[in-house]
Amino acid sequence: MSITATIYPYISFDPSIAGGSPIISGTRVSVRSIAGYYQLGMSVDEILSSLSHLRPSQVHSALAYYFDHQEEVEKDLAESSDLEYWKSQAKVHPKAASLS
């Protein structure tokens, strides 16, 4: 039995974009964003209306990646939606810190 890697032709990883999470190649649109829209009940056509610079094949590739890596993407989506997490990551401006 041979193991083959699944190829997602429109998905890439760039450590300088979305923290290295999977993105649609050539864009700053993350797979987690597409997954989030999908979870809200948006169809591919509705996602394309909101992100008109994308092609259907890119959105379908992002959804294929999401379905194949659902646990990982949903964890990433939950973390990126966690307000308390982002508050803990926010840096205090040096001038504001010196005023207190």
CB 34 within 8 A of CB 47: yes
- Residue 99 is assigned to a structural domain of this protein: no
- Residue 39 is assigned to a structural domain of this protein: yes
- Residue 43 is assigned to a structural domain of this protein: yes
Q: Residue 86 has what pLDDT?
A: 58
Number of domains comprising the chain: 1
Q: Tell me how many degrees the CA angle 74-81-89 measures, rounded to the nearest 5.
A: 120
Confidence band, pLDDT 50/70/90 cuts, at residue 81: confident
What's the CATH number where 61 sits?
1.10.10.10
Domain that holds residue 25: 1-71
Confidence band, pLDDT 50/70/90 cuts, at residue 79: confident
Confidence band, pLDDT 50/70/90 cuts, at residue 27: very high
3 state SS of 76: helix
Percent of the chain scored above 90 by pLDDT? 64
Confidence band, pLDDT 50/70/90 cuts, at residue 95: low
